[in-house]
Structure 1
Amino acid sequence: MTPGMEVRPAEPDRLPLRVLLVAAEPVVRLQLRRLVSGRPDLEVVGSARNDAELEALLAETRPAVLLVDARDARSGAAAVLRLAARQGLRGLSLLGEGAAPAGAALPCPADLAAEEPGGAFMQQLSGALRGAAGTAQPSRLAATRPSFRPELIAIGSSTGGPQALSELARALSRRRPSLPVLLTQHMPMTFTAMLADQLSRCGYPAVEAMEGMPLQPGRIHVAPGGFHLLVRRDGDRLACTLDDGPPENFCRPAVDPMLRAASRVAGGRVLAVILTGMGSDGLLGCQGLVAAGGVVLAQDEASSVVWGMPGAVARAGLCHAVLPLSAMADAVARLATGGPS
């Protein structure tokens, strides 16, 4: 057998998801094998250095999904994924930190040796692998903890967002949850004020956020272009804070800082909604929010212009539900009032 190729006998009746690793660097293959094999819900059935080695392994190992180190050009990620597609398989790409995922992809920590099978990254990776394999696509609202009573709603969107937000605002205007709403839409300065006006014309009051502005129930507070929208607690009320710090996920405003701040201030009492958008902004923020006890809804692929941002949180297994845009307002209204889901 060619050096670098490792095979385990295929056992089609095993319950764990069957994963085949593709990584050019031996140390990376070793660390990925250690991490993936250490989880009871995953099984490594083989590994290869590139597409040339992969072809001989596919029939022998019968994986459910490929895990590809796309950070190293020697792995030939594009060729690997094309080969997998011809075989009816899907793959998940590991990207360098800060890279914007396209398709099924996940940012990879710089030091895999520091990660553990039960850690946050591997929980995220497990959900992303199942999503890429097509085994983790929720289609209806799941059951919620009876005690979930959100204190605020946080919405993130990008490409296709203004149209989706207008539709959501029109639908929500008939229900008007009595909670303040934070909104980060990837949009430059001057356009965010126009967005707030557009949403108000759709029947849901909206305003471009200002420093120190109190959060009002039943109102959308839009992150202004050029600033991350954060939130702080002033006594018994919440207020907006604007941050002109570095861009995150190549954006300012960005969704991740908003979700981090909301989670710090309100703990698990946050309902996050991730709508259509390119990249993966919101993924890390949703991870922390869910860990704190919050709830995430994501727009489904069919109704999204670009299923990047909602797809990232869906594939990571962070979503309470993945819904068409037409069903989102009902779900938000029910969860916002603590009603049955």
Structure 2
Amino acid sequence: MISVLVVDDSATVRRIVTTALETDPGVAVVGQAVDGEHALDLAQELAPDAVVLDIEMPVLDGLAALRRLRAANPRLPVIMFSTLTERGAMKTLEALSLGASDYVTKPTGTDSLSASVREIADQLVPKIRALVGTARSLDSGGQPVPPPPLARPSPAVAPQVLMVGCSTGGPDALASLVSELPFNLRVPVVVVQHMPPVFTAMFASRLDRVSALSVSEAVDGEPLRAGHVYVAPGDRHLSLHRVEDRVLARIDAGPPENFCRPSVDVLFRSGAHVYGPAALGVVLTGMGHDGTAGARAVQTTGGTVLAQDQASSVVWGMPGAVVAAGLAHEVLALDKIAARLVELVRG
């Protein structure tokens, strides 16, 4: 059984979140806190497996409570409960930088009660299960899964594009990665991070502040330039298309793949088609298996695939699926990936 502490100053929200979580018979809400101070007391008393934490609260807000929860228990999964607004996005991204494990967005006020419960359950339950599973494995001294034989040791040609896909734990991993890439990188970098609208534009701005490269949300029809990072807009696929001697970004609202839009598979598949053996895909931390089919396309056309290792991933779902399928040419700790990318680009 997974025990969860729900923290929100609204009694209605606490009731809806509790109902949503307990649609899963393997999850039990063991406590409800009305503010950050109350949450700290209950977390110490109840020792929950995970915390769902509102951001805007009286007495002690979610960010301050998060800092203290993290100081007391660095591995405790904490999922922020955020509004789908610019302010909510800004606060959520700050929470992720402070060590929040992930976030979910609150339903709009126009949703019915039953629709709100379903939406929260669909977002929250899988994330709690994945994060708690990872935390329990680490706490029990579980050993990382050894990878199967790698596809091949090195690419046949120097990459002309870097494509990066991630989900849970991705914002922090991407910030670490792009901050280590040099200003004179000779190729474009294209990123799919599973994120809703509003969040992605702010996330791109946050990455731009920590990177020597220019970072922006991708715009439909813009040509890719070396030394620039393009982030897929929320709720839109990002794919690459060649027009004469230029490669252009295409943004569309095609059907979700792997329940995701944007989808890593869409990006990787298009990049493999455009660049062939000069395509390089990187799969970072995340839930699910988005990126596996795309990695297979990259490998089939002679490109290169790198995957983040289990020990440095918040959730080893996406990279783990790529590794298990034998599609990763190298499996690296997060702090080793940027240097390896630079090495490969420079041939």
Please say whether Structure 1 and Structure 2 have the same fold, judged by a TM-score greater than 0.5: yes
| Same amino acid, percent of matched pairs | 45
Q: Which of residues 247, 256, 271 in structure 1 aligns to 2:265?
A: 256
How far residue 308 of structure 1 moved from its aligned partner, in angstroms, is: 0.3
1:78-227 matched pairs, under 5 angstroms: 134=146, 136=148, 143-145=153-155, 147-172=156-181, 174=182, 176-203=184-211, 204-227=213-236
* 1:10 counterpart residue number: none
Q: Which runs of 5+ in 2 are unaligned?
A: 1-125, 131-143
How far residue 159 of structure 1 moved from its aligned partner, in angstroms, is: 0.3
CA–CA separation in structure 1 for the residues paired with 2:240 and 2:146:
36
- 1:153-198 Cα offsets, whole Å, 9 max, x none, are 10000000000000001111x3642101110000000111111111
CA–CA separation in structure 2 for the residues paired with 1:275 and 1:248:
18
The answer as to 2:290 corresponding to 1:278 is no
The answer as to 2:291 corresponding to 1:291 is no
How far residue 266 of structure 1 moved from its aligned partner, in angstroms, is: 1.1
Q: Could you say if the C-alpha distance between residues 328 and 135 of structure 1 is closer, same or farther in structure 2, counting changes exceeding 3 Å?
A: closer
Structure number with larger C-alpha Rg:
1
* 2:330 counterpart residue number: 321
How far residue 260 of structure 1 moved from its aligned partner, in angstroms, is: 0.8
Q: Which runs of 5+ in 1 are unaligned?
A: 1-99, 104-131
Return the TM-score normalized by structure 2: 0.56
CA–CA separation in structure 2 for the residues paired with 1:181 and 1:156:
11
Corresponding residue pairs, total: 207
Q: Could you say if the C-alpha distance between residues 135 and 188 of structure 1 is closer, same or farther in structure 2, counting changes exceeding 3 Å?
A: closer
Assess if the C-alpha contact under 8 Å between 1:233 and 1:265 holds in 2.
Answer: yes
Q: Could you say if the C-alpha distance between residues 301 and 230 of structure 1 is closer, same or farther in structure 2, counting changes exceeding 3 Å?
A: same
* 1:245 counterpart residue number: 254
1:26-105 matched pairs, under 5 angstroms: none
* 1:332 counterpart residue number: 341
* 1:58 counterpart residue number: none
| Higher normalized helix content (fraction of residues) | 2
Assess if the C-alpha contact under 8 Å between 1:271 and 1:336 holds in 2.
Answer: no
SS across alignment from 1:289:
helix
How far residue 221 of structure 1 moved from its aligned partner, in angstroms, is: 0.6
Return the TM-score normalized by structure 1: 0.57
